[in-house]
Chains A and B, each alone.
Chain A
């Protein structure tokens, strides 16, 4: 038995504790009224009732990470102008388990993989974290406000990007290993055989799938209307209310744009990589002072374009949106990207 397993609900914490012996385990926890991924420690409460406000992306792709540190050293007393630079990189990422993220969160990581790993020059920082992390996703029984995963090729029990999929079957959780990493995790912890729960889990999963809304018109085309996409009037109509903050991009499991800055005190410092957001004016501001996307309309258009046009063009039609609904749920002005893409997909729109 390694491909499936079953755990009664009261045994879930024992499972996490067993996993914590060999890895750092992150699990959703309640922080005030919001849900965040926190390092799991013995006895800590879990919170699985709704998706985390901020998914697990920051564990594998941190909002701020040091790429290297530098130190300017004057080693020659005869020549004070001679400066040596000492460079250091450090890597201390431990084996990690992300427990209880949603299938959309895991799917988001696959969008990152194509950019950071599946290239001629893989990003060593991201790759190390990704390789050392096992993802145990929790299938959704029903959608949450704003969710539209099935409309963008995912689903409430989609397995893309997950190593293990866990389904709530009432009196306990049914586990399915999806990868070698997943099998290893299930093997490492004593668990009941899950075979008898497989059918029930399947039923729950397909019921859930039917409940997800499809925001796109019934006769929607795959392609977006280029004419509408190029219309300033259209963007003015749909995003005048946008306040140009970075909430949508930072909470998005598929947004990966970053900034690199040298943060330096007198003679030493660090080169850091931090998340950046295409909704900020500075994002495309050039040193000349010219800004190719000077208005929020242009910036929002790019955000939609990146996810639904440019990324699919580059990566075999894959849409860079997992339909988690966070950008809709937490938008200060309730801008709804699914509504906007719906207009762009509607063949009646000219």
Chain B
């Protein structure tokens, strides 16, 4: 899919909307940044490549005017979930879908080049070529993609009004999605506790994970900061941090669309998505429900059945 094709669609959509949210080049060659386009001149600066990682759909609930948004397959699940939960007015949103073969994790690329400042980036044949002052390095995109791409089931957006490119079928087996969770669960309880304690100890409570999360709809009324009820103190102890992350995860039960934004944005590199993925795997097991794939679905926590097929204790 070429950037030119995308620009054509943007120009076509622009007159009908207040803003088109897409991507443009950021402060250096490896960082792509969200771009709120208002004019045809803006559209000229739009960019699409494997560095367009951020889930732009997350901006939608905060915008009142009619907005067009560019989404990859994974990002489109956010919109589907918003539709299920009534968080957006679909008639107020124009969806420009992009079939995507996988993006690049900037953190992984930076690690691969020893965190040298990036001078240039080029793409060729599913590879990314990174230039730093130490020379050029070629990396296979498959080796530096975010973990979510490795098991991607939805390379083509599930909902869209315009599709920039031809639909792509997933080549990844559906069983692979929760393999990492199953692997992690083989560790003993103590090992898992120590793992999370160690990771969450790094948390600085900046709430980047919460604010980047498209499904964290409480935002400014988050109980991590309320004084009444006083669920969490402002202290910096492991317990308080763990409590916040547990609340975040539980609030997303059957709602997390696994976009990985929470983990991508963490400045302390904490694998915060793991807990959410674990809970999602439970939701799949219990309710056979996958968030954000069918606009007609009702999230399991939004409803209840007197008898649940897989929950035994209701059988009195």
Interface residue ranges, A against B (CB under 8 Å)? 31-34, 36, 49-50, 53-54, 63-64, 142-146, 236-237, 240-241, 243-247, 249-251, 259, 261, 263, 272, 274, 277, 280-282, 328, 330, 332-336, 338-339
Q: How many inter-chain residue pairs (CB < 8 Å) link A and B?
A: 123
Interface residue ranges, B against A (CB under 8 Å)? 19, 26-28, 30-36, 54, 58-59, 107, 111, 114-115, 117-118, 133, 202, 204-208, 210-212, 219-220, 225, 227, 233-236, 261, 264-265, 267-269
Q: Which residues of A contact B265 (CB under 8 A)?
A: 243, 245, 247, 332
**A261-B234, A274-B236 are contacts. A330–B33 as well, Cβ < 8 Å?**
no
**In the docked arrangement, what's the CA distance between A246 and B268, Å?**
13
Instruction: Kindly identify which residue among A243, A263, A338 contacts B235, using a CB–CB cutoff of 8 Å.
Output: A263
Extra 6 A-B pairs, beta carbons < 8 Å, given A34-B202, A251-B267: A64-B234, A241-B59, A246-B206, A263-B233, A280-B207, A334-B32
Q: Which residues of A contact B32 (CB under 8 A)?
A: 334
- In contact, B26 and A50 (Cβ under 8 angstroms): no
8 contacts between A and B (CB under 8 A): A250-B206, A251-B267, A261-B233, A263-B235, A272-B233, A274-B236, A281-B220, A334-B31
Tell me the interface secondary structure of chain B in the complex. loop
Q: Which residues of A contact B114 (CB under 8 A)?
A: 49
- In contact, A263 and B234 (Cβ under 8 angstroms): yes
Most chain B C-beta atoms within 10 Å of own C-beta, residue among A143, A145, A274 = A145
Q: Which residues of B contact A246 (CB under 8 A)?
A: 205-208
Closest chain A residue to B118, Cβ basis: A145
Q: How far is the CB of B183 from chain A (nearest CB, A)?
A: 18
Q: Which residues of B contact A146 (CB under 8 A)?
A: 27-28
- In contact, B111 and A33 (Cβ under 8 angstroms): yes
- In contact, A64 and B236 (Cβ under 8 angstroms): yes
Q: Which residues of A contact B117 (CB under 8 A)?
A: 142-145
Instruction: Kindly identify which residue among A33, A263, A282, A334 contacts B107, using a CB–CB cutoff of 8 Å.
Output: A33
Q: Which residues of A contact B133 (CB under 8 A)?
A: 142
Closest chain A residue to B199, Cβ basis: A32
Instruction: Kindly identify which residue among A49, A54, A280, A336 contacts B204, using a CB–CB cutoff of 8 Å.
Output: A54
Q: How far is the CB of B236 from chain A (nearest CB, A)?
A: 4
**In the docked arrangement, what's the CA distance between A272 and B236, Å?**
10
Q: Which residues of A contact B225 (CB under 8 A)?
A: 280, 282
Most chain A C-beta atoms within 10 Å of own C-beta, residue among B30, B111, B236 = B236
Q: Which residues of A contact B26 (CB under 8 A)?
A: 334, 336
